[in-house]
Amino acid sequence: MIQNETHWINEDGLGGTIIKIENPSFVLSEWFDGEYQTKMTDYCNHEFGFRNTLIRIHNQLDYFCFDKLHAFGVVMGKEEYLYEENYIRSCIGLDYVGLDKINEDARKLKLVQDTLRKLHVDLVFIIAPGKGTYFSEYFPSPYDTMKIRTTNYAGYASAFKQSGISYIDFNKWFLDMKKTTPYPLYGKGGIHWSKYGEALACDSLIRFIEQERECYMPRLVLDEVELSILNRDEDYDIGSALNLLFTLDTYSMGYPKFHFQKDQNKTKQKVICVADSYYWGMFNFGISTEVFGNGKYWYYNEQIYPDSYEKNKSTSEVDLKIEIEKHDVIIVLSTEMNLYRFSFGIVDQLYDVYYANNKSLFSKQ
């Protein structure tokens, strides 16, 4: 009761997605129909003193005694490697969408890509890596004995090559570097690429766009890499979501310190990035403001950032054709796990804009 009223001991917040329950205001009508009591009960059950610590103790006991985890969709692999289960399923091919859909998606992407190029807009598709593919040797049972089937990643990569689509395959690149990279590209307790891997991908993305656009953009300049046994941010994001009393064993990770070039001779291409959560790190460390001309981040092609920090802004609120054509580059970034929902619908939307009902393809001169 004392902690609940005074908060005299500072507790760490819980990880993962937490819905904050607000203290309900008293309304006489809600008192008589029982709604106020229901709201207050919910508030008291979520906001009492030491709740966070008690949850961590409960979760730690469940993990220690029964190997039970309290995080939706998270599984523990061998040697305490953590995964979101969907990444494992994607790696094995359990979410395969079929060759017909893959070929149709590639056909539409190629048409849209060629059309936008004639409008002086480049569309770059990026396949981000997946932890399931990168650390398949640590899969838990029963996935460790399952036969690898045809995967969405293999299907789309093959279709892109056959169709002549311009794309970046970071999934293959990360695997190729796995044994030679000086710092880990994934953490044991993280689901996203490491901060070091993210910096490598950022640098490669900038160089790729320079080559496609035949321009010179502000470059990412690496100053130093700090080695730390304490895993930070995305390197321990699903570990944090377990809300355990003690952190799991991890290995040291590299944390790059870098800056972007300040050069008036460098061109900031105006870029929209339609992406899943793998773009959050780049967005937060300033690639959009420093390199991409204050371009927007269309999170899962639903919310627009940074606008949604102040007030939720949906992609459905903008005129897609106008918005796309006033930019230089459109990036579609998807980790292999999200390929089953190809491009988050943006390619289909652009295909409809330029090809539905035989509309005129070009508005830019």
137-149 pLDDT, tens digit per residue, is 999 999 999 998 9
The predicted model gives 160-174 an average pLDDT of 95
pLDDT: is 201 or 12 the higher one?
Answer: 201
Averaged pLDDT score across all residues of the chain: 91
Residue 14 has what pLDDT?
Answer: 82
DSSP state of 26: P
Residue 358 has what pLDDT?
Answer: 53
Confidence of residue 362 (pLDDT cuts 50, 70, 90): very low
Distance between CA atoms of residues 184 and 89, nearest Å = 23
In this predicted structure, the answer to whether residue 281 has a pLDDT above a threshold of 60 is: yes
In this predicted structure, the answer to whether residue 44 has a pLDDT above a threshold of 50 is: yes
Q: Which of 203, 119, 264, 93 is nearest to 102 (CA)?
A: 93
Q: Over pLDDT 70: what percentage of the chain?
A: 97
* pTM of the full structure: 0.87
Q: What ranges do the domains of the chain cover?
A: 74-358
pLDDT tens string 310-341: 999 999 999 999 999 999 999 999 999 999 99
In this predicted structure, the answer to whether residue 256 has a pLDDT above a threshold of 60 is: yes
Residue 360 has what pLDDT?
Answer: 46
Three-state secondary structure call for residue 357: helix
For residue 17, the one-letter residue type is T
In this predicted structure, the answer to whether residue 355 has a pLDDT above a threshold of 70 is: yes
In this predicted structure, the answer to whether residue 365 has a pLDDT above a threshold of 80 is: no
The predicted model gives 230-255 an average pLDDT of 92
Residue 266 has what pLDDT?
Answer: 79
pLDDT tens string 283-295: 999 899 999 989 9
35 vs 40, 46, 47, 340, CA distance in Å?
Answer: 9, 17, 18, 41
Contact predicate 272/349, CB 8 Å = no
Distance between CA atoms of residues 223 and 1, nearest Å = 50
Residue 33 has what pLDDT?
Answer: 87
Instruction: Tokens for 95, please give them.
Output: 């979410």
In this predicted structure, the answer to whether residue 364 has a pLDDT above a threshold of 60 is: no
Which of 23-37, 56-70, 205-219, 349-363 has the lowest average pLDDT?
349-363
In this predicted structure, the answer to whether residue 356 has a pLDDT above a threshold of 70 is: yes
The predicted model gives 268-277 an average pLDDT of 93
Distance between CA atoms of residues 290 and 210, nearest Å = 15
Residue 361 has what pLDDT?
Answer: 47
